[in-house]
Amino acid sequence: MQEIIRVRDIVEILEQWAPKKYAYDWDNVGLQIGSLESKVNKVLLTLDVLENVVDEAIENEVNLIIAHHPLLFKALKQINTDDAAGRIINKLLKHDITVYAAHTNLDVIDGGVSDMLSDRLEIINREVLVPSEHGKAIGAGRVGELKETISLNDFCLRVKEKLEIPTLRVVGELNKKVRKIAVLGGSGEDFINQAKQMGADVYVTGDMTFHEAQDAMAMGLAVVDPGHHVEKVMIQGIKTYLEMKTIEKSLELTFIASSQDTEPFQFL
């Protein structure tokens, strides 16, 4: 008989790789809603927990959603089931779906989101961009090299192809030759100085803001902003890891990569 698998069993496996203590203080990782004791046989993996993702979980009779971005971040003062945030909580509780978030703890680890993005972009000889108190090998972002020197323009084409995005924003001279690349998936605009100091020719990061882009331009650092949604690479990354570990332990679980779009932007 198949043994009962609980949320805590899967969380334990995930936290061996991405311990909660590695998350930034401002973050809110771990259990978001539901129970560690709930029984699980289907797990949905997603970047964000939006209402379309919750509906997908319900349709697929999923018991656990593992997300990158925390469902609960700012303090809730009210749960009003007439708005989206309230409806999401209501649907999750009604359908006994637990939500767990692995956010900055998943960003900083070896093989985490920064490495997943760097792998896609074929960046080698990598170091951590912003080392943490947990050691030099653990921290936000990566800096490494392309196998060959290419133009910024060709690098942008590679980013679009490898990260499967229709468009991106770029700062810098497109004919400039580049090789050393810094990568930080989410909002990395605070770390342009680190990228420059570590000798990066290009800094790839989502949510680059206007004035920081001007600062980067002034210091001769090219910037490629492919959008925050490229962090969706974590879906396949977590899926591969959990499938491998649960097969090792002979746990019968189904992992589903969310097919729902959580990109808020359209590109015209």
Binding-site ranges for Zn ion (CB under 5 A):
186, 231
Looking at the Cβ atoms of 172 and 186, the one nearer to Zn ion is 186
Q: Are 8 and 16 in contact (CB under 8 A)?
A: no
C-beta of 1: minimal distance to Zn ion in Å? 40
CA–CA distance, 183 with 143 (Å, rounded to integer) = 6
Query: How many other CB atoms are there within 10 angstroms of residue 244's CB atom?
Result: 10
Name the residue whose CB lies closest to Zn ion. 186
Q: Are 252 and 2 in contact (CB under 8 A)?
A: yes
C-beta of 77: minimal distance to Zn ion in Å? 24
- What tokens were used for 12? 């334990």
Looking at the Cβ atoms of 98 and 205, the one nearer to Zn ion is 205
C-beta of 184: minimal distance to Zn ion in Å? 10
C-beta of 258: minimal distance to Zn ion in Å? 15
C-beta of 80: minimal distance to Zn ion in Å? 26
Looking at the Cβ atoms of 115 and 231, the one nearer to Zn ion is 231
Looking at the Cβ atoms of 172 and 227, the one nearer to Zn ion is 227
C-beta of 207: minimal distance to Zn ion in Å? 8
- Counting beta carbons within 10 angstroms of the beta carbon of residue 136, is it exposed (0 to 12), middle (13 to 18) or buried (19 or more)? exposed
Q: Are 49 and 99 in contact (CB under 8 A)?
A: yes
Contacts of 111 (CB under 8 A, 6+ apart): 17, 237, 241
Looking at the Cβ atoms of 189 and 231, the one nearer to Zn ion is 231
Looking at the Cβ atoms of 67 and 138, the one nearer to Zn ion is 67
C-beta of 193: minimal distance to Zn ion in Å? 21
Contacts of 39 (CB under 8 A, 6+ apart): 4, 5, 6, 63
Q: Are 196 and 219 in contact (CB under 8 A)?
A: yes
Contacts of 78 (CB under 8 A, 6+ apart): 86
CA–CA distance, 123 with 205 (Å, rounded to integer) = 14
Which DSSP symbol is given to 112? Answer: S
C-beta of 107: minimal distance to Zn ion in Å? 8
Looking at the Cβ atoms of 117 and 253, the one nearer to Zn ion is 117
Query: How many other CB atoms are there within 10 angstroms of residue 218's CB atom?
Result: 8
Looking at the Cβ atoms of 41 and 262, the one nearer to Zn ion is 262
Query: How many other CB atoms are there within 10 angstroms of residue 19's CB atom?
Result: 16
Q: Are 38 and 64 in contact (CB under 8 A)?
A: yes
